[in-house]
Structure 1
Amino acid sequence: MSNWIIAGLGNPGSQYEHTRHNVGYWWLDQLASELGQSFKTESRFNGQLIQFTTPEHKIWLVKPLTFMNRSGQSVSALANFYKVPPENILVIHDELDLPAGVARLKRGGGHGGHNGLRDIISQLGSKEFLRCRIGIDHPGNSKQVADYVLSKPSAVDRENIMASIDNSRRVLPDVLAGNLEKAMNWLHSQ
């Protein structure tokens, strides 16, 4: 049985709940709802957690409560405690370089200016974790990015984002089974 961490990135607090930067939380909330489970705050991991088991895997869902730029504290504490290697960590995050409604999977790579990824790479000492990038579109001007990610998407964009979350959740069994290429082929054709 392999151990996995699925981390959805976002910022805690009701003022951030519906903002673009919180799509990682949205993703995990959808999965938790499907599982019929609720997140519980675990202070030693600086996050809200759900743990569940499938016949092949023990899986921890985590929503770091450290704010985006300290996400790595939560993810690394959980990974170190349960001996989960970076290769078995899936991080779900917002992606400015993809249109709303598009989701992409990849392993490794840089942080692309994303402070949550930057901190996870720093805290884990590895870039080799999986990423599920949920497109939120770009405001068009780099000076507007901070305000943009912390604002609510339009109704149409939110609908598109939720569709991409559904699509990316659909390939989770393949991702966990090590069939990343199969998962990518399907997801990237949506």
Structure 2
Amino acid sequence: FIYSKKYDADIFEYEYSSKIFQFFKPMSYINNSGVPIKKFIKNKIINPENILVIYDDLDLTVGKIRLKQGGGSGGHNGLNNIIEQLGSKNFWKLRIGIGKPEDKDRVVDYVLGQPSKIDKDIILDSINICLDEMNNFFLGESTSLMNKLNGDHRENGV
């Protein structure tokens, strides 16, 4: 990744199957991540349906993976901002579950804190599964990819 001051983001380009894909990681606060994304796609002329937003999700058990296109924010402030800035919900979302604390008053500390060693290992396994399958996304094989990623990946059903 290379930092771009123009977009306040880290950017990485990847070529696969004669196409160039750009990875864009906003360095702004998550709740304002739509602003640099809008600036980037406007300059690069990228349609929302060609965007994949990857994020952690409290509402999924640790390590659970979900891929879908469109839909709402699920109360995620960063997604609310992206939807507002893009004027569209029709982008792809890849969610990786982080679980949630039993005490709702601890949500902020939980999200901003470090996961337990066990949870971290499960999350990293899920990230690796996603990375192994990402070329299918680049090839436009989204239906088969959703079937693979949206299923259970661990022996314990996580």
Same fold (TM over 0.5): yes
- Preserved contact between residue 96 and residue 138 of structure 1 (Cα < 8 Å): yes
User: 1:143, 1:178 → 2: CA distance?
Assistant: 41
Partner of 1:176: 138
Partner of 2:90: 128
Partner of 2:72: 110
Q: What are the within-5 Å matches in structure 2 for residues 71-86 of structure 1?
A: 71-86=33-48
- Identity of paired residues, percent? 38
Instruction: Quote how far apart the aligned CAs of 1:43 are.
Output: 1.1
Partner of 2:17: 55
User: 2:14, 2:145 → 1: CA distance?
Assistant: 22
Q: Larger C-alpha radius of gyration, 1 or 2?
A: 2
TM-score norm. by structure 1 comes to 0.76
User: 2:60, 2:22 → 1: CA distance?
Assistant: 27
Is 1:45 the counterpart of 2:7? The answer is yes
| AA partner of residue 108 (structure 1) | G
Q: Secondary structure at the match of 1:119?
A: helix
User: 2:38, 2:145 → 1: CA distance?
Assistant: 25
Partner of 2:156: none
- For residue 57 of structure 2, the aligned residue among 90, 95, 103 is 95
User: 1:84, 1:57 → 2: CA distance?
Assistant: 14
Change (3 A) 1:55 1:177: closer
Q: Secondary structure at the match of 1:45?
A: coil
Aligned-CA RMSD value: 1.2
- Preserved contact between residue 46 and residue 73 of structure 1 (Cα < 8 Å): no
- Structure 2: tracts of 5 or more residues without a match: 154-158
Instruction: Quote how far apart the aligned CAs of 1:173 are.
Output: 1.5
TM-score norm. by structure 2 comes to 0.91
Partner of 1:31: none
After superposition, the C-alpha distances for 1:148-189 in whole angstroms (9 at most, x for unaligned) are: 100100000000000010111222112122211100111122
- Structure 1: tracts of 5 or more residues without a match: 1-38
Aligned length: 152
| AA partner of residue 77 (structure 1) | K
User: 1:178, 1:159 → 2: CA distance?
Assistant: 29
Runs of 4+ in 1 over 3 A off after TM superposition: none
| AA partner of residue 132 (structure 1) | L
